[in-house]
Amino acid sequence: MKKINGVYRNQQMHWVGDGFPVKNLFSYDRLGQMISPFLLLDYAAPYTFSATQEQRGVGSHPHRGFETVTIAYQGEVEHKDSHGGGGVIKAGDVQWMTAGAGLVHQEFHSSAYAQRGGVFEMVQLWVNLPAKDKMTTPRYQALNATDIAVHYFDDQGSQLRVIAGEYQHYKGVAATFSPINVWDVTMQKGVVQHFEVPAQHNTIVVVLHGNIQVNTTHEIKDHSIVLFAKDGETEIVIEATEAAKFLVLTGEALNEPIEGYGPFVMNNQAEIMTAFADFNQGKFGQIAAEIM
């Protein structure tokens, strides 16, 4: 079994805009190359919003040099960007946005969800782009729940959704720039599964809800991550000690410098300065206004 290098838990919540109460479970400024090619993961744990006519979320802001992956569990988010991407993601859907050379986007609760209110729960993952692809043309991938391959462990609700990469013979529909796996797993209490991951990948298990036992030795609580060693081993054993929901993330490390500032992640400070200059000069474009 793969050696566990560390377990980290965060119970502190902060707001992103006025629509996303999140807990940051990992970020590159603390863990660096140990999590490459992943950069950051925010978990919006279940939170009940009252019905409103107001617009809740995050207004227009830029990105360059990486991708954002939003996994919707409950609630709805409407996305628009300056490259023409956009749409509403609902429970079970995934939004994969490649900022690449740069764009401006906004993320708000959908008007339908805002007007009815209810529980909101989502994950946003940042995936780094290789240096050769950082200035790629932006793109938007809307992954509907019905398009995501599902492997069922039992008929009681234990399952694995392959968002990116592959699991056994199931393949994810997301197109990626480097080899990664994003598996969205739900397991009922008492279920035990053996996961095979690529030996050369960095591997992270992100526990969103419930408790699990990893490799028969480590009890992991919700809102935690488990980092594994690249030790040539490929097996991870997970038991749900209570009903649990978690992500398994694996990826081939880029082994390139990481220089980030706010909404930009590049390879050096000069590229960060260029990103700010390009944004200030309007090179990231504008979000098209709605025609009434």
Q: Is 63 annotated as a binding residue?
A: yes
Task: For residue 37, say if its preceding peptide bond is cis, omega within 30 degrees of 0.
Answer: yes
Q: Is 196 annotated as a binding residue?
A: no
Q: How far apart are CA 152 and CA 162, in angstroms?
A: 11
Strand order of the β-sheet with 94-98 is 14-16, 20-27, 38-49, 118-128, 66-74, 94-98, 139-143
Strand order of the β-sheet with 192-196 is 192-196, 235-240, 212-214, 218-220
Q: How far apart are CA 32 and CA 28, in angstroms?
A: 4
What count of residues does the chain have?
292
Q: Helix/strand/coil (H, E, C) string of 125-173? A: EEEECCHHHCCCCCEEEEECHHHCEEEECCCCCCEEEEEECEECCEECC
Strand order of the β-sheet with 86-89 is 57-63, 103-109, 77-81, 86-89
- Burial degree of 288 (CB within 10 A; 0-12, 13-18, 19+): exposed
Residue 255's region, left for phi above 0, alpha for psi from -120 to 50, else beta, is: left
Question: From the centroid of its chain, how far is CA 54?
Answer: 27
Question: Are 208 and 223 spatial neighbours (Cβ–Cβ below 8 Å)?
Answer: yes
Residue ranges of the annotated binding site for Fe cation are 61, 63, 105, 107
Residue ranges of the annotated binding site are 61, 63, 105, 107
